[in-house]
Amino acid sequence: MNVAKTDHARVATLFDAAREGDRAALDELVSLLTPLLWQVARDQGLDAEHAADVVQTTWLRLLGSFAEIRSPVALTGWLITVTKREAWRTGEKRQIERPLPELPERLSEASPAPEEGVLREDQRVRLWRAVDNLPERCRSLLRIVAFVHRPDYAEVGARLGMPRGSIGPTRGRCLARLREQLLANGEGDWL
Protein backbone atom coordinates (compact mmCIF):
# COMPACT_ATOMS: atom_id res chain seq x y z
CA MET A 1 0.00 0.00 0.00
CA ASN A 2 1.66 3.17 -1.12
CA VAL A 3 -0.54 6.12 -0.33
CA ALA A 4 2.18 8.54 0.68
CA LYS A 5 2.99 10.94 -2.09
CA THR A 6 6.71 11.03 -1.45
CA ASP A 7 8.06 8.11 -3.39
CA HIS A 8 10.88 6.65 -1.39
CA ALA A 9 12.40 4.71 -4.27
CA ARG A 10 12.51 7.88 -6.33
CA VAL A 11 14.19 9.75 -3.47
CA ALA A 12 16.81 7.00 -3.25
CA THR A 13 17.64 7.29 -6.96
CA LEU A 14 17.78 11.06 -6.78
CA PHE A 15 19.90 10.95 -3.65
CA ASP A 16 22.69 9.03 -5.39
CA ALA A 17 22.62 11.27 -8.44
CA ALA A 18 22.51 14.50 -6.44
CA ARG A 19 25.49 13.45 -4.33
CA GLU A 20 27.41 12.97 -7.57
CA GLY A 21 26.63 16.55 -8.47
CA ASP A 22 23.57 16.10 -10.69
CA ARG A 23 21.76 19.42 -10.29
CA ALA A 24 18.53 18.26 -11.92
CA ALA A 25 18.34 15.46 -9.36
CA LEU A 26 18.89 17.96 -6.56
CA ASP A 27 16.11 20.16 -7.95
CA GLU A 28 13.74 17.24 -7.90
CA LEU A 29 14.73 16.37 -4.33
CA VAL A 30 13.86 19.95 -3.42
CA SER A 31 10.39 19.49 -4.92
CA LEU A 32 9.83 16.20 -3.12
CA LEU A 33 11.14 17.11 0.32
CA THR A 34 10.40 20.82 0.74
CA PRO A 35 6.70 20.22 1.59
CA LEU A 36 7.90 18.10 4.53
CA LEU A 37 10.37 20.76 5.70
CA TRP A 38 7.74 23.47 5.42
CA GLN A 39 5.54 21.55 7.86
CA VAL A 40 8.53 20.99 10.19
CA ALA A 41 9.35 24.71 10.24
CA ARG A 42 5.74 25.74 10.72
CA ASP A 43 5.28 23.17 13.45
CA GLN A 44 8.12 24.94 15.28
CA GLY A 45 5.80 27.93 15.51
CA LEU A 46 7.49 30.19 12.96
CA ASP A 47 5.47 32.63 10.89
CA ALA A 48 5.31 31.98 7.15
CA GLU A 49 8.13 34.32 6.21
CA HIS A 50 10.62 32.96 8.74
CA ALA A 51 9.60 29.40 7.93
CA ALA A 52 10.38 29.99 4.25
CA ASP A 53 13.80 31.46 5.13
CA VAL A 54 14.60 28.56 7.42
CA VAL A 55 13.72 25.93 4.83
CA GLN A 56 15.84 27.66 2.22
CA THR A 57 18.77 27.95 4.61
CA THR A 58 18.53 24.24 5.33
CA TRP A 59 18.91 23.40 1.64
CA LEU A 60 21.85 25.80 1.26
CA ARG A 61 23.55 24.08 4.20
CA LEU A 62 23.01 20.72 2.57
CA LEU A 63 25.28 21.71 -0.33
CA GLY A 64 28.32 21.53 1.92
CA SER A 65 27.21 18.51 3.91
CA PHE A 66 26.06 16.08 1.26
CA ALA A 67 29.24 14.01 1.46
CA GLU A 68 28.60 13.21 5.12
CA ILE A 69 25.12 11.86 4.53
CA ARG A 70 25.11 8.14 3.92
CA SER A 71 21.60 7.19 2.84
CA PRO A 72 18.28 8.63 1.71
CA VAL A 73 16.79 7.90 5.13
CA ALA A 74 19.69 9.76 6.74
CA LEU A 75 19.04 12.63 4.33
CA THR A 76 15.44 12.99 5.52
CA GLY A 77 16.62 12.89 9.12
CA TRP A 78 19.39 15.40 8.48
CA LEU A 79 17.05 17.85 6.76
CA ILE A 80 14.51 17.64 9.59
CA THR A 81 17.17 18.16 12.25
CA VAL A 82 18.73 21.16 10.51
CA THR A 83 15.32 22.73 9.86
CA LYS A 84 14.46 22.42 13.55
CA ARG A 85 17.82 23.83 14.59
CA GLU A 86 17.59 26.75 12.18
CA ALA A 87 14.04 27.45 13.38
CA TRP A 88 15.27 27.56 16.94
CA ARG A 89 18.16 29.85 15.98
CA THR A 90 15.94 32.47 14.42
CA GLY A 91 15.17 33.42 18.00
CA GLU A 92 11.69 34.40 16.96
CA LYS A 93 9.02 34.36 19.59
CA ARG A 94 7.11 31.21 19.08
CA GLN A 95 3.65 30.42 20.22
CA ILE A 96 3.71 27.55 22.67
CA GLU A 97 -0.01 26.89 22.76
CA ARG A 98 -1.06 26.81 19.18
CA PRO A 99 -4.64 26.17 18.23
CA LEU A 100 -5.12 24.07 15.16
CA PRO A 101 -5.67 26.26 12.12
CA GLU A 102 -9.16 26.33 10.81
CA LEU A 103 -9.76 23.82 8.09
CA PRO A 104 -10.46 25.75 4.91
CA GLU A 105 -13.13 24.78 2.45
CA ARG A 106 -11.58 22.53 -0.09
CA LEU A 107 -10.82 24.73 -3.06
CA SER A 108 -11.30 21.98 -5.58
CA GLU A 109 -14.82 21.32 -4.33
CA ALA A 110 -16.36 23.48 -7.02
CA SER A 111 -14.11 22.14 -9.75
CA PRO A 112 -14.89 18.96 -11.64
CA ALA A 113 -12.19 16.89 -9.97
CA PRO A 114 -13.79 15.24 -6.94
CA GLU A 115 -11.36 12.33 -7.06
CA GLU A 116 -8.36 14.51 -6.35
CA GLY A 117 -8.24 14.10 -2.59
CA VAL A 118 -8.29 10.93 -0.54
CA LEU A 119 -11.02 12.21 1.79
CA ARG A 120 -14.70 12.92 1.43
CA GLU A 121 -15.97 16.15 2.96
CA ASP A 122 -17.45 14.51 6.06
CA GLN A 123 -14.23 12.56 6.55
CA ARG A 124 -12.20 15.77 6.37
CA VAL A 125 -14.20 17.37 9.15
CA ARG A 126 -14.09 14.30 11.38
CA LEU A 127 -10.41 13.63 10.84
CA TRP A 128 -9.50 17.26 11.54
CA ARG A 129 -11.55 17.18 14.74
CA ALA A 130 -9.76 13.98 15.79
CA VAL A 131 -6.38 15.59 15.07
CA ASP A 132 -7.46 18.57 17.18
CA ASN A 133 -8.20 16.26 20.11
CA LEU A 134 -4.73 14.73 20.13
CA PRO A 135 -2.08 15.79 22.61
CA GLU A 136 0.19 18.43 21.07
CA ARG A 137 3.17 16.10 20.69
CA CYS A 138 1.12 13.51 18.88
CA ARG A 139 -0.35 16.14 16.60
CA SER A 140 3.19 17.28 15.71
CA LEU A 141 4.44 13.76 15.12
CA LEU A 142 1.56 12.81 12.83
CA ARG A 143 1.80 16.11 10.99
CA ILE A 144 5.42 15.40 10.08
CA VAL A 145 5.17 11.64 9.57
CA ALA A 146 2.28 12.17 7.17
CA PHE A 147 4.77 13.86 4.83
CA VAL A 148 7.36 11.07 4.74
CA HIS A 149 7.43 7.60 3.30
CA ARG A 150 7.32 4.47 5.39
CA PRO A 151 11.04 3.62 5.49
CA ASP A 152 11.62 7.00 7.13
CA TYR A 153 9.11 6.66 9.97
CA ALA A 154 11.46 5.42 12.67
CA GLU A 155 14.19 7.90 11.76
CA VAL A 156 11.72 10.77 11.76
CA GLY A 157 10.34 9.84 15.17
CA ALA A 158 13.84 9.77 16.59
CA ARG A 159 14.73 13.12 15.01
CA LEU A 160 11.60 14.67 16.47
CA GLY A 161 12.71 13.42 19.88
CA MET A 162 9.75 11.19 20.50
CA PRO A 163 10.55 7.57 19.71
CA ARG A 164 7.90 6.33 22.16
CA GLY A 165 4.89 7.77 20.41
CA SER A 166 6.39 7.00 17.06
CA ILE A 167 5.26 5.02 14.14
CA GLY A 168 7.47 2.26 12.85
CA PRO A 169 6.73 -1.33 12.13
CA THR A 170 3.90 -0.87 14.63
CA ARG A 171 1.23 1.78 14.75
CA GLY A 172 2.56 3.58 17.78
CA ARG A 173 0.73 5.53 20.41
CA CYS A 174 -0.23 8.61 18.39
CA LEU A 175 -1.73 6.89 15.40
CA ALA A 176 -3.51 4.42 17.70
CA ARG A 177 -5.08 7.37 19.52
CA LEU A 178 -6.23 8.90 16.28
CA ARG A 179 -7.79 5.63 15.15
CA GLU A 180 -9.41 5.09 18.49
CA GLN A 181 -11.29 8.38 18.19
CA LEU A 182 -12.40 7.79 14.63
CA LEU A 183 -13.52 4.23 15.19
CA ALA A 184 -15.44 5.07 18.37
CA ASN A 185 -19.12 5.98 18.42
CA GLY A 186 -19.91 3.96 15.33
CA GLU A 187 -18.20 6.62 13.24
CA GLY A 188 -15.95 4.05 11.69
CA ASP A 189 -16.91 4.61 8.10
CA TRP A 190 -13.38 4.76 6.80
CA LEU A 191 -13.02 1.85 4.45
Partner 1 sequence: MTTVEPPGANEPLDELDFRLLAGVRELWEDADPMPATLVEQIRFAIRLEDVDLEVMRIRDLEQVAGARSAAEQGRLITFDSESLTIMVNVSPEAGSTIRLDGWLTPPAEHPIEVRTATGPLTTTSDAEGRFAVCGVPHGMVQVLVRTVGRSRTVSTPAIEL
Q: Residues in the site for partner 1, rule: CB under 8 A?
A: 1-5, 23, 26-27, 30-31, 34-35, 38-39, 42, 47-49, 52-53, 55-57, 59-64, 66, 86, 89-90, 100-104, 106-107, 117-119, 123-124, 127-128, 131, 142-143, 145-147, 150, 167, 169-173, 175-180, 182, 190-191
Identity of the residue, 17 or 182, whose beta carbon is nearer to partner 1 in the bound complex: 182
Q: At its nearest, how many Å lie between partner 1 and the CB of residue 13?
A: 19
Q: At its nearest, how many Å lie between partner 1 and the CB of residue 27?
A: 5
Q: At its nearest, how many Å lie between partner 1 and the CB of residue 78?
A: 15
Q: At its nearest, how many Å lie between partner 1 and the CB of residue 174?
A: 9
Query: Please, are residues 130 and 178 in contact by the beta-carbon 8 Å criterion?
Result: yes
- Determine the Cα–Cα distance for residues 151 and 86; give it in Å rounded to an integer: 25
- Determine the Cα–Cα distance for residues 88 and 134; give it in Å rounded to an integer: 24
Three-point CA angle 162, 90, 128, nearest 5°: 45
First to last CA, the chain: 14
Radius of gyration of the chain (CA): 18
